[in-house]
Amino acid sequence: MKQIKNYFYLIVGVLSVLFAFTHAMNGQLTLLSEIDKTSLDLGTKTIVRYVWHIITAENLIFGVVLIFMAFYREREKVRFVAWLIATVLLTRWFVILLFTMMHDSASLTVILTDTIAIILLVVLLLIGARVKDK
């Protein structure tokens, strides 16, 4: 059995996979089921569905990649991937924040959970990226 080389990547990977499943389930139970009840045209409903599931797929891919990275022997070679994932997560958060502020700044508390999750993942990723090879 391979030995874990970076526990930070492993933790972020597991959390990302968990977030992928909770994001998909939350979407099905709340937003996506309600969209079906609206008078929006089918094209708009389809766009909302695939945009929602793009984030689910990103989280799942990030999680699987990070779990593999946790066991990778030469950490220096995967450090760039950790930085890239952190950049994508921060960009995602910035877009969420920007559009919430532009269209519904009164409900900034709605994005508090996303903010906490993304900041936690990014901090753990950046700590993991600082771990040196022995």
pLDDT in tens, the chain (134 residues): 689 999 999 999 999 999 999 999 999 999 888 998 999 999 999 999 999 999 999 999 999 999 999 999 888 889 999 999 999 999 999 999 999 899 888 888 888 988 999 999 999 999 999 987 66
Q: Which pLDDT score, from 0 to 100, does residue 134 have? A: 64
Q: Are 89 and 118 in contact (CB under 8 A)?
A: yes
User: Among residues 85, 84, 80, 44, which one has the least CA distance to residue 62?
Assistant: 85
| pTM, to two decimals | 0.89
Q: Which pLDDT score, from 0 to 100, does residue 95 have? A: 93
* CA 107 centroid distance within chain: 21
Q: Compute the chain's Rg from CA coordinates.
A: 17
Domain limits, the chain: 7-130
What is the DSSP code (8-state) at residue 6?
-
C-alpha 13/C-alpha 55 separation (Å) is 15
